[in-house]
């Protein structure tokens, strides 16, 4: 875990690529979020259990536990938590949405696209 800012709502960024995690965290901090990081679905679930996470942005394909499996478990236990999936494979969008993810973004993303996705995910969850 890496807390990089403690001012705004806490967003968890999950990706097995350190570069992607840091890039997404920087975009989130520019939008007023606090951030923490995880490298796979197992760490994602552990972080959400330990902290007051208000947004999850996760990669789909990761070792140990993929993002979709983790999101399905989160949706069952925390239905109101906004979930955004990042993937490089557009053909996985329908499966992710059916698994409870609010928004799927194709990598790479920029700050404006991410901001709109966050708004959409929050609205979908009523937060």
Strand (E) or helix (H) holding 95: helix 93-98
> pLDDT-derived band of residue 2, with 50, 70 and 90 as boundaries?
very low
Distance CA 38, CA 16 (A): 8
Specify the residue for token string 């901001």: 115
Ramachandran category for residue 101: left, alpha or beta (phi over 0 → left; psi -120 to 50 → alpha): beta
Distance CA 63, CA 106 (A): 19
pLDDT tens for residues 38-97? 999 999 999 999 999 999 999 999 999 999 999 999 999 888 999 999 998 888 788 888
> pLDDT-derived band of residue 6, with 50, 70 and 90 as boundaries?
low
Question: What is this structure's pTM?
Answer: 0.92
Distance CA 13, CA 86 (A): 10
**Maximal C-alpha separation, the chain:** 36
Distance CA 77, CA 52 (A): 14
């Amino acid at each position: 875990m890496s807390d990089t800012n403690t001012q705004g709502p806490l967003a968890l960024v999950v990706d097995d690529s350190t570069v992607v995690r840091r890039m997404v965290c920087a975009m989130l901090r520019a939008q007023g979020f606090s951030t923490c990081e995880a490298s796979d679905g197992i760490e994602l679930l552990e972080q959400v259990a330990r902290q007051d996470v208000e947004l999850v942005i996760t990669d789909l394909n990761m070792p140990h536990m993929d993002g979709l499996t983790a999101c399905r478990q989160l949706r069952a236990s925390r239905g109101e938590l906004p979930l955004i999936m990042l993937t490089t494979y557009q053909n996985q969008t329908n499966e992710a949405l059916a698994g409870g993810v609010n928004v799927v973004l194709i990598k790479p993303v920029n700050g404006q696209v991410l901001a709109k996705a966050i708004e959409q995910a929050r609205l979908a969850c009523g937060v």
